[in-house]
C-alpha cells in the first residue's frame, strides 16, 4: 500500500486531522473534489485559518507525507479510509447525508475489484444508524461483505476551531464505535502511533459513537444557553453579575467551570447545526426535545440584550454610529458561520444605524455578506472613533488592550456594550459601561 491512511473531504476536520497524522509520521493521502482547494493545499497554503496549520502543512508536503488527489478512486492506495465530508443542515434541521452517501458509493466502486481488506472510518458528524446505512451502501456497490472484505468504524471528532491542531494531537477522549475485534486492532495500531501514550480510547458500538457526538455538543450548548438565561435574570437585579454566579457554581466539580461563559450566544458550524439535527432525529423517534428547543430559543434571542441597552441609552438608532469589535463566531478564527455579529449588524441596518466593524481576520469574510452597506476598519481604534456606542461581539485578545482612556478619547460618547465580558466594571467605572449579565 502506498499510503497508511486516506481522508475523503479536506474541510476543517479532514485537513486538521490529515496534517496531524502526517506530523506523526503517517503517510497520508488527502482527497477532495474541489480542485482549487487541492491546489492551495499542495502549495502549503491552508484554505482555513488555524494556528500551527501552515507550519504543519508545509512540513507534511516537504517530507512527502501528505499527497493530494481529486479522485475518490485513489483511496484504494490506503488501507484505512477516513470519511470527513460535510453533513450540512436541511431546512427542517435534519442532516443531509448526500456527500457521505456519494463518497461511500465512490469508495465501494473503487474497492470492488481489490482483494485488500479496507477499514472505512466515519469521522463526519452523523445521526445514529448512519453507519448501518453506509455499510448497506458499501455492500450494494462493491458486492463485498462487511466484516469480511471491509469494516466500518465510527470515530467522531471533538476538535474546536482555533485550537484544532492541539485538540487533534491531544484529545480528551477518542471515541471508537466498532463491532469487530479485527477492526479494533487495526485502528488501535494506527492510533497508538499518533496519540502515543495519551490514548484515552472509549470503545463502543457505532450507533452509540454517533449519539455521543450529538450528546456532547448539545450538552455544551445547553450549558451556554443556561448561563445566558441566568444572565438575563442577573441583568435585572441591581447588583447582579452572572460572572460571580459562574465562578461559584463552576467550583462544583459536578458542574465544572468550562463553557459557562454568558455572552451573545453560540455560533459556528457545529453547535447550531448539531442541536437542530438532534431535535430532528428525536422527532423521528417520537421523542420530545423541549430542552434543546429552549437551548435554541435562548440562543436565537440572546443578542437582543444589546438592543435593550441601545434602546434605553440611545433611543432611535437612525444615523447613530455604532462600532462593532469582533465578527468571527469566536476568537482565533476567521469563521463567521452562524456568528452573532451577523444578527446584530442586520438589525442595526434595519434600524438605519451607521455601522463600522473591525475583526483582526474576519473583515473580508463579512464583506461577502454586507458589502458596502457597512464600513470596515483596519484596527480597533479607527473602528470606535467618533462612534455613539461600541459593541464587543467577539472576545479577541487584542481588544483587551484597549484602555478606558482610549474609549473616552476616541468615541463621541463612551458607551460600551461588552457582549463577552472582556472588561471589568470596576476598571470602566468612568464610562457608560454595560455588559451581558451585569445588573
> Contact positions toward ligand UDX, by CB under 6 A?
157-161, 217, 220, 224, 259-261, 263, 266-268, 270-271, 329-330
> Collapsing DSSP states into helix, strand and coil, what is residue 354?
strand
Residue nearer to ligand UDX on the CB measure, 309 or 336: 336
Cell numbers 450566544 correspond to 265
- From the CB of 413, what's the least distance to ligand UDX, in Å? 27
Residue nearer to ligand UDX on the CB measure, 82 or 266: 266
Residue nearer to ligand UDX on the CB measure, 86 or 267: 267
270 is known as an active-site residue:
yes
Residue nearer to ligand UDX on the CB measure, 270 or 417: 270
Q: Which residues pair with 82 in a beta bridge?
A: 7, 121
- From the CB of 266, what's the least distance to ligand UDX, in Å? 3
Question: Which residues, other chains included, contact 143 with Cβ-Cβ below 8 Å and sequence gap of 6+?
Answer: 112
Q: In what order do the strands lie in the sheet with 201-204?
A: 66-69, 28-31, 3-8, 78-83, 118-122, 150-154, 174-177, 201-204
R_g over Cα of the chain? 24
Asked if 326 and 399 touch (Cβ cutoff 8 Å), the reply is yes
**Nearest in space to 351 (alpha carbons), one of 396, 404, 310:** 310
Residue nearer to ligand UDX on the CB measure, 52 or 117: 52
- From the CB of 262, what's the least distance to ligand UDX, in Å? 7
Please give the Cα distance from 328 to 338 (Å, whole number).
9
- From the CB of 192, what's the least distance to ligand UDX, in Å? 23
Catalytic residue among 20, 270, 383, 390: 270
Phi, psi of 412 (to 5 degrees): -70, -45
> Collapsing DSSP states into helix, strand and coil, what is residue 429?
coil
Which positions are annotated as active-site residues?
270
Amino acid at each position: 500500500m502506498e499510503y497508511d491512511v486516506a481522508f475523503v473531504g479536506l474541510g476543517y476536520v479532514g485537513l486538521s486531522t490529515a496534517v496531524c497524522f502526517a506530523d506523526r509520521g503517517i503517510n497520508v493521502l488527502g482527497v477532495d473534489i474541489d480542485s482549487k482547494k487541492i491546489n492551495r493545499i499542495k502549495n502549503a497554503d491552508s484554505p482555513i485559518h488555524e494556528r500551527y496549520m501552515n507550519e504543519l502543512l508545509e512540513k507534511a508536503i516537504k517530507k512527502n507525507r501528505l499527497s493530494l488527489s481529486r479522485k475518490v478512486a485513489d483511496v484504494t492506495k490506503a488501507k484505512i479510509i477516513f470519511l470527513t465530508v460535510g453533513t450540512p443542515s436541511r431546512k427542517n434541521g435534519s442532516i443531509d447525508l448526500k456527500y457521505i452517501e456519494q463518497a461511500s458509493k465512490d469508495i465501494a466502486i473503487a474497492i470492488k475489484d481489490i482483494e485488500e481488506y479496507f477499514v472505512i472510518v466515519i469521522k463526519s458528524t452523523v445521526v445514529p444508524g448512519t453507519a448501518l446505512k453506509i455499510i448497506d451502501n458499501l455492500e450494494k456497490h462493491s458486492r463485498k461483505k462487511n466484516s469480511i472484505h471491509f469494516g466500518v468504524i465510527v470515530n467522531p471528532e471533538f476538535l474546536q476551531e482555533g485550537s484544532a491542531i492541539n485538540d487533534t494531537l491531544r484529545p480528551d477522549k477518542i471515541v471508537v464505535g466498532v463491532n469487530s475485534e479485527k477492526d479494533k486492532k487495526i485502528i488501535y495500531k494506527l492510533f497508538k502511533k499518533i496519540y502515543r501514550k495519551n490514548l484515552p480510547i472509549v470503545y463502543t458500538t457505532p450507533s452509540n459513537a454517533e449519539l455521543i457526538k450529538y450528546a456532547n455538543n448539545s450538552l455544551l450548548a445547553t450549558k451556554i444557553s443556561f448561563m445566558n438565561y441566568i444572565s438575563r435574570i442577573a441583568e435585572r437585579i441591581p447588583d447582579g453579575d452572572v460572572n460571580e454566579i459562574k465562578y461559584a457554581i463552576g467550583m462544583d466539580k459536578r458542574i465544572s467551570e468550562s463553557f459557562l461563559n454568558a455572552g451573545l450566544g453560540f455560533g459556528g458550524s457545529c453547535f447550531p447545526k448539531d442541536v437542530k439535527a438532534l431535535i430532528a432525529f428525536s422527532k423521528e423517534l417520537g421523542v420530545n426535545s423541549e430542552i434543546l428547543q429552549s437551548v435554541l430559543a435562548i440562543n436565537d434571542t440572546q443578542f437582543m440584550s444589546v438592543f435593550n441597552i441601545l434602546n434605553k441609552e440611545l433611543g432611535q438608532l437612525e444615523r447613530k454610529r455604532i462600532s462593532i469589535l469582533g465578527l468571527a463566531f469566536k476568537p482565533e478564527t476567521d469563521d463567521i458561520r452562524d456568528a452573532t455579529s451577523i444578527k446584530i449588524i442586520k438589525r442595526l441596518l434595519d434600524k438605519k444605524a451607521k455601522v463600522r466593524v473591525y475583526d483582526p481576520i474576519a473583515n473580508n469574510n463579512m464583506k461577502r455578506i454586507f458589502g458596502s452597506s457597512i464600513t470596515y476598519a483596519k484596527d480597533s481604534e479607527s473602528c470606535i472613533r467618533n462612534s455613539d456606542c461600541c459593541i464587543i461581539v467577539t472576545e479577541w485578545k487584542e481588544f483587551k488592550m484597549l484602555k478606558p482612556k482610549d474609549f473616552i478619547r476616541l468615541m463621541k460618547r463612551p458607551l460600551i456594550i461588552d457582549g463577552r465580558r472582556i472588561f471589568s466594571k470596576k476598571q470602566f467605572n468612568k464610562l457608560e459601561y454595560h455588559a451581558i449579565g451585569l445588573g
